[in-house]
Structure 1
Amino acid sequence: MSRSVIVLGAGMVGVSCALSLQKRGLDVTLVDRREPGTETSYGNAGVLARSSIMPLNAPSLWRKLPSYLGNRSPALHLDPARLIAEPGWMLRFLWEARPSRLAARVAALESLMAHTVPLHRELMTQAGILHRLRETGTLKLWRSEAGFASAQAEHDFLREHHIESQVLDRQAISAVERDLKPIFPAGLLIPANASVDAPGPVTSAYADLFVNRGGRIEQAEIRSLTRAGSGWAATTDSSAFAADLIVVALGPWSGDLLRPLGLNPQLGVERGYHRHLRAIGSASLSRPVYDVDAAYFMAPMEQGYRVTSGVDLSARDAPDNHRQIDAVTASAREAFPLGDVVEAQPWRGARPTLPDSLPMIGEAPRNPGLWLAFGNQHIGFSTGPVTGEILAAMITGETPIADPKPFAPGRYIA
């Protein structure tokens, strides 16, 4: 008789864990309060970011801090109430930015990102949605001549890690994206990255694949976790589900469920916004672009052109603050012919981030059978499938496709 598993959370990470466990013969039930792919996994630029191997809190963060003070930068909004409420997380996030920690964290991220595009391509093929995959790369853009030095430095860094990129001047940028306005003298094209035209529906299609292979999805609000004999039980607003193993993949809500068990994963939350706009006339983009100086992604999507904001470090459930998304929308209009806004209000979501910018993948200390898969921060959509493969291999005694040690829960949970 196969072991039973309940996966809590139907975002990209949770759905991927369910698929990887199912593939190995386990009896899997997926539980979430919402339909698959309608929370955090819905709101991103749709990038499969092979090149995202530099941690969010790289040592360069220290020199950027003065520009973030006063909330004048579109890249970051810091709510003083959050700083007062969570000083420990903020300080540890900064402490992890010291240079001596950088190489190990880059190597850990690279071990994940190397599998991003191949695993997604495989799942999209199996789910019958390969038409949603664009292997046209991504384009980073700088608004000043000084951007050439930044583009060249990133090109050199990526080359050291065998990731192809091309430094572009204004004319070359126009050749790659003819409808961008000529306001960017420097750019970096990264062909190794890919993207999708609708992240939410991609996650939903993976969930459909899970169901078509015999998996079960239950829509319910998860209230608590308890031991049940040699296994675990998840109590919801409608019933309880028991299994041999539990996987917590609830993204920014994971800590809420673990703290009553005496487990504090040191999980922080970054909020973000996006809105969709229609292009004017026949203007189009072939790939997502990132405006470095104005701090936004603009990505062609099924719903229109999605413009994403920088990081909002307010409390997870605080009221919306549209300062950043309004600022970057204005900047995006400077760069590309954008017309009407599609939705009445911007979308807002939250991303789960651990102090070292690495996910937590593995069994919880002192709690056999309780497995954790969260903290994938801005690369959760990219790294969901590899997270699932690592976790499922550990559960079934296989050798994971990436070393799980850097992602061990024990680095934050005693």
Structure 2
Amino acid sequence: MTTAERADTMVLGAGIVGVSIALHLQERGRTVVLVERGEPGGETSHGNAGLIERSSVVPYAFPRDLPTLAALASNRSVAVRYSPATLLRMAPWLARYWWNSAPARLDRLGRAILPLIERSIAEHQRWTQAAGTQALMREGGWIDLYRRKGTLEQALRSAKALACHGLAYDVLGPVELAAREPGLVQGAAEGAIHWRDPVTVSDPGGVTRAYAALFVARGGRLLRGDALSAQQDGDGWRIEAGGRDWRTREAVLALGPWSKEFYERLGYRFPLGFKRGYHMHYEIAPESVPRHPICDAQAGFVLTQMQRGVRLTTGIELADRDAPSDPWQLDQAEQVARRRMPVGRRLDAEPWRGARPCLPDMLPVIGRAPQHPTLWFAFGHAHHGFTLGPVTGRVLAEAMIGETTFCDLRPFSAERFSHGYHANA
């Protein structure tokens, strides 16, 4: 009988969250195996706009004003697209999302996640030199475009309301915007807000792979295997991966949108929903390359320079995680984008599609599994997985080691969902 390999912890999932947890545990003296079926950062961590979003101190709330709701209900909005059948199935989830987006509740939720947002850049930067990702990181923030004066004024009022957070931003009229982004088509917007605090990257999947390579260089084990096949083994956990049988004392579930299959097998029921998104890369003349990521606030897409070309990332598609792709949203966003910037031909054979794992209170689940003391959760980061991966790794590692966590983890506890566990499942 083959003797099992042993380690302290297995981390299931090598996206930005899982890789970051593995690195932080390793830095605290734990032996860690990181399990992934493909390349690190090859799924959701690959397909985003590459924003380390320090300025997003308010969670992405459900719209509550009637004009916006009416526009979304038409299902012709470029920013939000939905499958009618999925919308019916998601109705209870959307109702909870809407309820949590009321101003007082949103303020409470924003204060809960603020410590993570505030440290998001610093926790990425702790590995930049060692991982060799300096050339992929760009300072200078990103720019929100507004096509109408009314929406620009409304956005400016919202920005001023964030003064207590000390965020740096510039309000740009058409002349200032043209000077800052000369590649934009003349008259592309009424104005813009340039958020200067965020850091952006030109290859988010590449950054994740570099962090994973750093973990391996420091002695960690990156194993190819099906993370969903991990099983309880007495008080610990076991998995066959990398051609060997492994046993660990603890496990961390960091499988992003695939976490659902694992926790449901153990009897947990969380209201995890999916906001899908697409991206495509485009050719562009050197003189027209965007100097900063540019978001069309109304259409919900981002244009940003990546190593492969200019990437267009779409807004939100409410659909089942694995439902067939629908080209409508990307096609419409591309038409709008061509009126903003002279992007050329498509560079990818097919659009990339991913699913952001979201909970209706806009907070991730981070912490110990209530009914399994040796299992830890880290999923549900919604729009901010790449932003919050390293800082999630830090706070979860602190909790697992028994250190004092730098922020209160109770708002992220799985136990906030009172009906989250069914013993007979």
Matched, 1:162 2:149: no
The match for 1:408 is 413
> Do the aligned partners of residues 349 and 390 (structure 1) sit closer, same or farther apart at CA in structure 2, a change above 3 Å counting?
same
Deviates more, 1:228-237 or 1:300-309: 228-237
What amino acid is the match of 1:74? V
For 1:390-409, list aligned pairs within 5 A. 390-409=395-414
- Number of aligned positions between the proteins: 413
Counterpart residue number, 1:254: 259
Please name the residue that 2:285 is paired with: 280
SS in 2 for 1:18: helix
- Is residue 25 of structure 2 the alignment partner of residue 14 of structure 1? no
| Whole-angstrom distance in 1 between the partners of 2:230 and 2:132 | 35
Q: TM-score, normalised by structure 2?
A: 0.93
**Structure 2 Cα separation of the partners of residues 8 and 162 of structure 1:** 37
Which of 173, 184, 192 lines up with 1:180 in the alignment?
Answer: 184
Aligned partner of 2:35 among 31, 34, 41: 31
Q: 1:62 to 1:244 in 2, by over 3 A?
A: farther
Measured against aligned partners, the alpha-carbon deviations of 1:309-367 in whole angstroms (never above 9, x if no partner) come to 11111110000001111111111111111111111111001111011111110001121
Deviations 1:103-126 (A, max 9, x none): 111112321111111111221112
Deviation at 1:84, TM superposition (A): 3.3
Report if aligned partners of 1:10, 1:32 keep a CA contact under 8 Å in 2: yes
Q: Is the 2:64–2:98 contact (alpha carbons within 8 Å) kept by the matching residues of 1?
A: no
- Tell me the CA shift for residue 6 of structure 1: 0.3
| Unpaired runs of at least 5, structure 1 | none
TM-score of the superposed pair, with normalisation by structure 1: 0.96
For 1:297, which of 287, 290, 302 is the aligned residue? 302
Q: Which amino acid counterpart does residue 12 of structure 1 have in structure 2? A: I
1:130-149 equivalent positions in 2, closer than 5 A = 130-149=134-153
Who is 1:49 aligned against? 53
For 2:154, the equivalent position in structure 1 comes to 150
The residue that corresponds to 1:229 in the other structure is 234
Q: How far is the alpha carbon of 1:277 from its aligned partner?
A: 0.3
The C-alpha deviation readout for 1:268-287, integer Å capped at 9, x for no partner, is 11110000001135222111
AA paired with 1:145?
A: K
Aligned to 1:357: 362
Which structure 2 segments of 5+ residues have no match? Answer: 1-5
Counterpart residue type for residue 150 of structure 1: Q
Tell me which stretches of 4 or more aligned residues in structure 1 moved more than 6 Å.
236-239
Deviations 1:142-196 (A, max 9, x none): 0112233123113203322211111111111111111112321111011101100
| Cα contact 2:274–2:357 (8 A) shared by 1 | yes
**Separation of aligned partners in 1, 2:98 and 2:50:** 28
1:316 and 2:321 are equivalent in the alignment: yes
* Structure 1 residue 9 displacement after superposition: 0.5
- Greater Cα offset, 274-283 or 303-312: 274-283
1:185-242 per-position Cα deviation (integer Å, ceiling 9, x unaligned): 1110111011001001100000000000000011112344432122122466976532
Q: Which residue number corresponds to residue 118 of structure 1?
A: 122
Instruction: Specify the alignment match of 1:94 in structure 2.
Output: 98
Secondary structure in structure 1 of the residue aligned to 2:353: strand
Does the 8 A contact of 1:59 with 1:98 survive in 2?
A: no
Superposition deviation, residue 60 in structure 1:
3.7
CA–CA distance in structure 2, aligned partners of residues 244 and 66 of structure 1 = 52
Root mean square deviation of aligned Cα = 1.8
What is the alpha-carbon distance in structure 2 between the residues aligned to residue 3 and residue 276 of structure 1? 41
2:72 to 68, 75, 91: 68
Q: Relative to 1, partners in 2 of residues 1:3 and 1:401: Cα closer, same or farther, differing over 3 Å?
A: farther
Distance in 2 separating the partners of 1:242 and 1:86: 38
3-state SS in 2 of match to 1:362: strand
Q: Is 2:206 the counterpart of 1:206?
A: no
Q: 8 Å contact 1:13–1:384 — kept in the other structure?
A: yes
CA 1:406–1:175 in structure 2 vs 1: closer, same or farther (change >3 Å)?
Answer: same
1:11 shift after superposition: 0.4
- Per the alignment, residue 372 of structure 1 pairs with 377
The amino acid across from 1:143 in the alignment is R
State the shift of 1:93 in Å: 1.8
Alpha-carbon separation, structure 2, partners of 1:72 and 1:30: 42
Distance 1:43 1:109 in 2: 23
Contact persistence 1:115–1:386 (CA under 8 A): yes
Q: Aligned letter for 1:134? A: R
| Cα distance, 1:214–1:184 mapped onto 2, change above 3 Å | same
CA distance in structure 1 between the partners assigned to 2:65 and 2:122 by the alignment: 31
Please say if residues 296 and 328 of structure 1, whose CA atoms lie closer than 8 Å, have aligned partners that are also in contact: yes
Secondary structure at the residue paired with 1:35?
Answer: coil
Distance 1:9 1:226 in 2: 15
Change beyond 3 A, Cα 1:237–1:218 = closer
Shift of 1:409: 1.2
More off after superposition, 150-159 vs 293-302: 150-159
Whole-Å separation in 1 of the counterparts to 2:131 and 2:326: 37
Correspondence for 2:333 among 324, 328, 331: 328
- 2:3 corresponding residue in structure 1: none
Q: Residue 267 in 1 paired to residue 272 in 2? A: yes
Residues in 2 aligned to 1:376 and 1:65: alpha-carbon distance in whole angstroms: 24
CA shift for structure 1 position 291: 0.6
* Aligned residue in 2 for 1:245: 250
Alignment of 1:85 onto 2:95: no
User: CA contact under 8 A between 1:58 and 1:102: conserved in structure 2?
Assistant: no
